[in-house]
Chains A and B, each alone.
Chain A
Amino acid sequence: MLKVENLCAGIEDKSILQGLNFTVNAGEVHAIMGPNGAGKSTFSYVLGGRPGYEVTDGTATLDGVDLLDMEPEERAQAGVFLAFQYPVEVPGVSNMEFLKASVESVYAARGWDVPSTVAFMKLAREACAKVELPLEFLKRGVNEGFSGGERKRNEILQMLLLQPKLCLLDETDSGLDIDALQVVAEGVNSLRSPDRGIVIVTHYQRLLDYIKPDFVHVLAGGKIVKSGGPELALELEEKGYGWIEGVA
């Protein structure tokens, strides 16, 4: 599904990703862990198409289609969803209006029926219930005055509505208390499906207690230096990153 080969990228002349190789098949859940400054967020941003990040070499394709050539909104329409580490506020734009514009654009691009307003409201309410956000959050401005946990739940709410092909979660667990962590994990787990890939970028093993990955990778110095099963995460939790070859 997602195929990343020899990806080299950076920001403002600073090279961060240095020949990263990574493959996700449909139905798989991957966790990417690694020390600070390893390039974890850069990897998410480069796949999402955040302006300012420059790709100098390599490829990234989703179902054979080149992602790196697309505008960020085209990647979203193709089915890439990036859950942000720090979702920003968009004051005055109601969550409902935002979600509707998003759903309409993505559904149309993917050739799905665009729901009527009534049908959309129903979908939005159901998704709210799933992530335990009160319905009034739909009327509030996007992330406006939301706590850290509420913002993350709002991200998962959007993910549930958009039904992406590939979910990228960038340190979604940061700043979450245990209750919120469970809600977020349940939301992600409900999206596990044979035709969807999920990539969890995280610092800590904690989230992986709730979302069991099929594969765990260590990202260091801008490339994947070690891959393994779920047991690798436990080993990292115990021993840190120092013992792995390639970790500076």
Chain B
Amino acid sequence: MSEHTDRIEANLNSEYEAGFITDIESESLPPGLDEGTVRAISARKGEPEWLLDWRLEAFKHWQTMEEPDWAHVKYEKIDFQALSYFSAPKSQADGPKSLDEVDPELLRTYEKLGIPLHEQKMLAGVVAVDVVFDSVSIHTTFKANLAEAGVIFSSFSEAVKEHPELIKKYLGSVVPARDNYYACLNSAVFSDGSFVFIPKGVTCPMELSTYFRINALNTGQFERTLIVAEEGASVSYLEGCTAPMRDEYQLHAAVVELVALDDAKIKYSTVQNWYPGDADGKGGVYNFVTKRGICKGVNSHISWTQVETGSAVTWKYPSVILKGDNSVGEFYSVALTRGRQQADTGTKMIHLGKNTKSTIIAKGISAVNSENIYRGLVRIAPTAAGARNYTQCDSLLIGDTCGAHTFPYIENKQNSAVIEHEATTSKVSDEQLFLCQQRGIDAEKAVSMIVNGFCKDVFKELPMEFAVEAGKLLEISLEGSVG
């Protein structure tokens, strides 16, 4: 291996910035999973009977399911009995009434992460944030402003209490409880998450955002996000994720459901930076997530954008069911793996309606000893006359001990459909680095420029406030600069 690669790899093996542990008293359920656990979570949240029944049914079904093994990833089997399924900061036991009641240690945690909860400090008032710490939602900002516009943005638990009719109507309508192993587990034991409802004709006046953080040891995080945009409504939503450095694996099995009615538009962006484990592959987050949206109405539009730099193992396929005629689904993804990270990620575009359109742009960057997999499905049903798909998958390799794989599946049952697929694999070469260096640009900066250039098509899809952040995150992941 060349000197160049060695040096870059030294940088790539750098520290994880968000890896600190918050020293806070937590109340957790003891490890273990049985019907009693499910009942305890539901009781802890004071849930109505119908929701408990929904959970119990999911749990019953989950017990009959097998953990899937088709993904191109290797990891230690999860001992579901060794995990705790609920953890909440103790001072939050009764729920904070206002920010003043939130444990200052928690506030400091979020400040360290660059997420101030005091509204006046927040990005000049353009973003509202819901914050989820371990199993509970800590605080949602700008609720009053949003309510004026008729927008509901709250923690999932709160929504169950205040808008049970909406939850009952849409929960599990896109990702059914029995959908897959992890989604089913989530349905049984989910603890909290975010709920967004944009009524008919309303354009959400600000970006909505949720920050998730796993803190407690041996705790699984199982949140649910549900976003509903009624006729002609539109919303842009962003989630960010971090976790402390722990030697043990942490399980994150979330479910996200999006529903877009006629002419509605939902843009969902993720910047995922869970702890990836150390250079030898010890610790890190298992990120087994089910994300799916349905373009239920005509002319509706769902767009997923993800920048994935964290997690030890990622297993995630944000998908769109294009049911309404003329609806549009998009997937823009940057997945960066380094160290011993493994990512098996991609999307599914299910075309059911006429003249439905989907675009997939996936950029995988692998470095050091990591494995980066794109797996995607484009399915055109017989009903989807005039459907179109364009897919572009590009892989960039840094060094010569990493891997990139592409598994595109295309199923077409409609003669009038047009499907395009392009794929490329390239390498950050010694020649490119030397060219940059010979022009006075150091190797770290050169790699960061090359990688950012490679990701340009995806970054431009992120909300502006976060495009810069994503570029910076990649740079940090690559450079290992501290602070």
Q: A16 to chain B: closest CB distance in Å?
A: 18
Contact A101 B445, CB 8 Å, known A51-B4, A90-B453: yes
Q: Which of A103-141 contact B (CB under 8 A)?
A: 105-106, 109, 141
- Indicate whether B437 reaches chain A with its CB closer than 8 angstroms: yes
Most chain-A CB neighbours within 10 Å: which of B429, B432, B435, B442? B435
Measured CB to CB, the nearest residue on chain A to B454 is A92
Instruction: Flag whether A84 is at the interface (Cβ < 8 A).
Output: yes
User: Could you say which residues of chain A place their CB within 8 Å of the CB of B430?
Assistant: 51-52
B2 and A52 form a contact (CB under 8 A)? yes
Task: Decide if A97 is an interface residue (CB 8 Å cutoff).
Answer: yes
- Complex CA gap A49/B437 in Å reads 9
Q: Does B36 contact A (CB under 8 A)?
A: no
Return the contact of B450 from the options A52, A93, A158 (Cβ within 8 A): A93
B439 contacts the other chain (Cβ, under 8 Å)?
yes
The residue that B442 contacts in the complex, of A49, A73, A141, with Cβ under 8 A, is A73
Q: Determine whether A102 belongs to the interface, using a CB cutoff of 8 Å to chain B.
A: yes
CB-CB nearest in chain B for A108 = B440
Interface of A is mostly: mixed
**Which residues of A are found within 8 Å of B431, using beta-carbon distances?**
88
A162 at the binding interface (Cβ < 8 Å): yes
* Chain B positions within 8 Å of A97 at CB level: 449, 453
B120 interfacial contact with A, CB 8 Å? no
**Residues of A in contact with B, size category:** 20 to 34
Cα A94 to Cα B429 in complex, Å, equals 17
Known contacts A91-B454, A92-B456, A98-B449; A76/B429 CB under 8 A = no
Q: Is A82 an interface residue (CB 8 A)?
A: yes
Whether a CB of chain A sits under 8 angstroms from the CB of B441 is yes
Closest CB in chain A relative to B217 CB, distance in Å: 41
- Assembly CA distance A52 to B437 (angstroms): 14
CB within 8 Å of A: which B410-427 residues:
426
Q: Do residues B438 and A92 form an inter-chain contact, with CB atoms below 8 A?
A: no
- Residues in B neighbouring A98, C-beta threshold 8 A: 436, 439, 441, 449
A48 to B438: give the CA distance in the assembly, Å. Answer: 7
Query: CA separation between A171 and B132, bound complex, in Å?
Result: 61
Residues of B within 8 A of A77 (CB): 440
Q: Are A102 and B441 in contact (CB under 8 A)?
A: yes
Is the CB of A72 closer than 8 A to any CB of chain B? yes
Which of B430, B438, B440, B443 is most buried by chain A, counting CB atoms within 10 A of its CB? Answer: B440
Most buried by B among A48, A90, A98: A90
What residue of chain B has the Cβ atom nearest to residue A141's Cβ? Answer: B453
A235 within 8 A of B: no
List residues of chain B with CB within 8 A of the CB of A87: 435
Q: Is the CB of A109 within 8 A of B440?
A: yes
Q: Which residue of A lies closest to B437 (CB)?
A: A72
Q: Roughly how many angstroms separate A51 CA and B3 CA in the complex, as a whole number?
A: 6
What string of 1s and 0s marks CB contacts (under 8 Å) between A28-50 and chain B?
00000000000000000000111
Q: Write the nearest CB–CB distance from A97 to chain B, whole angstroms.
A: 7
Bound form: Cα–Cα A105–B437 in Å: 10
Q: When chains A and B are docked, how far (Å) is the Cα of A94 from the Cα of B434?
A: 17
Please give, as numbers and ranges, the residues of chain A lying within 8 Å of B432 by CB-CB distance. Answer: 88-90
Q: Does A231 contact B (CB under 8 A)?
A: no
Chain A residues, CB < 8 A from B449: 90, 93, 97-98, 101
A71 at interface by CB-CB < 8 Å: yes
Mask, B1-17, CB within 8 Å of A = 1, is 01110000000000000
In the assembly, what is the distance between CA of A211 and CA of B459, in Å?
A: 45
Give the docked Cα–Cα distance between A90 and B440 (Å). 15
Closest Cβ neighbor of B428 among chain A residues: A90
Complex Cα distance A94/B445, Å?
A: 14
> Is A73 a contact of B453 with CB atoms below 8 Å?
no
Contacts of A91 in B (CB 8 A): 426, 453-454
A75 partner residues in chain B, CB cutoff 8 A: 438
Residue contact A76 to B450, C-beta cutoff 8 Å: no
Looking across the interface, which residue of chain A has its beta carbon closest to that of B429? Answer: A88
Contact between chains at B426 and A73 (CB < 8 Å): no
Beta-carbon nearest neighbor of A105 in chain B: B440
Kindly state the separation between the CA atoms of A98 and B454 in the bound complex, as whole angstroms: 14
Query: In the assembly, what is the distance between CA of A94 and CA of B454, in Å?
Result: 11
Q: Find out whether the CB atom of A90 lies under 8 angstroms from the CB atom of B436.
A: yes
Smallest CB–CB gap between A71 and chain B, Å?
7
Query: A48, A52, A92, A97: which has the most chain B beta carbons within 10 Å?
Result: A92
Could you tell me if B435 and A76 are in contact, using CB atoms closer than 8 angstroms? no
* Cβ contacts under 8 Å, B439 to chain A: 76, 98, 101-102, 105-106, 158, 162
Q: Is the CB of A82 within 8 A of B440?
A: no
Question: Measured between C-beta atoms, what is the minimum distance from A168 to chain B in Å?
Answer: 10
Q: A102-B440, A106-B440, A109-B440 are in contact. Are A90 and B435 (CB under 8 A)?
A: yes
Q: List 6 A-B contacts (CB under 8 A).
A: A73-B438, A92-B452, A93-B452, A94-B453, A97-B453, A101-B439
Q: What is B's interface to A at a CB cutoff of 8 Å?
A: 2-4, 426, 429-432, 434-443, 445, 449-450, 452-456
Q: Report which A residues bind B (CB closer than 8 A).
A: 48-52, 71-73, 75-77, 81-82, 84, 87-94, 97-98, 101-102, 105-106, 109, 141-142, 158, 162
Given contacts A48-B438, A162-B440, 13 further A-B contacts (CB under 8 A): A52-B2, A52-B430, A75-B438, A81-B438, A82-B438, A90-B432, A91-B453, A91-B454, A93-B453, A98-B436, A102-B441, A105-B442, A141-B453
